[in-house]
Amino acid sequence: MRYGLIAATIGLGLVLGCSKPPEAPAGGAPIGMSQCNRGEPWRVQMDTDVKDAAANHADQLEVTFQDAQNDVKTQQSQVRDFVAQRYDLIIISPKEARPLAAPVSEAMKAGIPVIVLDRDIDGGDYTCFIGADNVKIGRELGKHMVQVLGGKGNVVELKGLQTSTPGHDRHNGFMEGIKGSGLKIVYDSDCRWLEDKAKADMQSVLTRFPDIDAVYGHNDPSAHGAYMAAKQEGKGREKTIKFLGIDALPHEGVRYVEEGILTATFQYPTGGQEAIDMALKIFAGEKVEKKMVLGTRLFTAENVAKGGEAVE
Ligand code: FRU
């Protein structure tokens, strides 16, 4: 165990009520980061952002990354292992809200601060949450779609995992955004954030519904999967249907807007840099806010060359 030697020191520090061990290990205080999966570009970007931000403070902290491979049980044991090995702080981007609540609570009880990134967990027993406002993003996307479709049309909603908070919030926000308009959701399904699932669902939707005006993908991979299904159908419907998504990674969603594949994408910042800033504040003993809300940007064909526009 890499930090075995320092574990006792940290443990003693905690017993004495200190948040830092008397002697920080070489390379800085150990932080454990549990990423729900590294199979999606957005999550790879989050890990990169954390890594780059941490590299600027290598004397103060050192991050060990774990990939839960989209498995809740794996993620639960990663958090418990970080606790058992007495890491100084845990960063988690959880797969689902409910099952990760208990291990995170255990870490808090053991005196290890926890920063929750992007997806929230039930109960709120953590040091702080960092993420964008998914209700707002869903609402703004809904309003934008109403505008793009001229107030009416048939919509397919390819949702993110409904047991994760962004999936839930992006749907509720969208419903607020299209309220009172002539937009009608003709089909929806839980695509669990997965491009392949979105593509397969869209293939069957295309055979069932001759009139589809827009697709709301809860993330860019879902919107792109739907586009690919329409393109491969071979009837040219990828040109008439509007595809809108969320994430806006430069080499993913933003590129799709540039290529005319997506009508719009809303940026979903990873919070990686902010997590490291927050960890440094916690180590310095500063009081930190319980919730840090990150902003978003809208990218369309009109504004993509200028880097999109901030959404107030
Ligand atoms: C990646 C992802 C993103 C999405 C986020 C929501 O796993 O699906 O595409 O915006 O998670 O938590």
Q: Give the pLDDT confidence of 275-289 residue by residue, as tens digits.
A: 999 999 999 999 999
- List all residues 6 or more positions away from 243 whose beta carbon is below 8 Å from its beta carbon: 214, 215, 217, 223, 224, 226, 227, 261, 262, 263
**Any ligand 1 atom below 6 A from CB of 201:** no
Q: Is 43 in the pocket of ligand 1 (CB under 6 A)?
A: yes
pLDDT at position 26: 59
Residue-level pLDDT at 108: 98
Q: Are strands 297-300 and 309-310 parallel, antiparallel or unpaired?
A: antiparallel
Residue range 40-74, pLDDT digits in tens: 999 999 999 999 999 999 999 999 999 999 999 99
Q: What mean pLDDT is predicted for residues 215-235?
A: 98
Q: Supply the pLDDT for residue 9.
A: 41
**Domains defined for the chain, CATH in brackets:** 3-126 (3.40.50.2300), 134-268+300-310 (3.40.50.2300)
With residue 13 as reference, give the H or E element that holds it: helix 4-15
Percent of the chain with pLDDT over 70: 91
Split at pLDDT 50, 70, 90, the class of 7 is very low
294 pLDDT more than 50? yes
Average pLDDT rounded to a whole number, residues 28-36: 97
Instruction: Return the ligand 1 atom nearest residue 268 CA.
Output: 10
Q: Tokens 């779609």 belong to which residue?
A: 145
CA distances, 76 to each of 26, 94, 96, 110, 276 (Å): 28, 9, 11, 15, 22
Residues 171 and 200 sit within 8 Å (Cβ to Cβ) = no
Q: What pLDDT sits at residue 304?
A: 98
Ligand 1 pocket test: which of 44, 136, 268, 297 has the largest number of ligand atoms within 8 Å of its C-beta? 268
Tell whether the model's pLDDT for residue 254 goes beyond 50.
yes
CA distance 9 to 24: 9
Q: How far apart are the first and last CA of the chain?
A: 47
Q: Which two tokens stand for residue 274?
A: 């902010």
Distance between CA atoms of residues 299 and 119, nearest Å: 23
Q: Kindly tell me if the per-residue pLDDT of 16 is higher than 80.
A: no
Question: pLDDT of 81-137, one tens digit each?
Answer: 999 999 999 999 999 999 999 999 999 999 999 999 999 999 999 999 999 999 999
Ligand 1 centre distance from Cα of residue 193 (Å): 6
Q: pLDDT tens digits, residue range 255-272?
A: 999 999 999 999 999 999
Give mean pLDDT, residues 185-202.
98
- Residue 213's nearest CA partner among 154, 283, 130, 279 is 154
Burial of 279 from C-beta contacts in 10 A (0-12 / 13-18 / 19+)? buried
Helix residue spans in 36-122 (DSSP H) = 41-55, 72-84, 101-109
Q: Judge if the beta carbon of residue 242 lies within 6 A of ligand 1.
A: no
pLDDT band at 21 (very low <50, low <70, confident <90, very high): very low
Q: Is the pLDDT of residue 293 over 50?
A: yes
φ/ψ (deg, to 5) at 87:
-65, 160
Q: What is the mean pLDDT of the chain?
A: 93
Categorize the per-residue pLDDT at 291 as very low, low, confident or very high, splitting at 50, 70 and 90: very high
- The residue whose CA is least distant from atom 6 of ligand 1 is 166
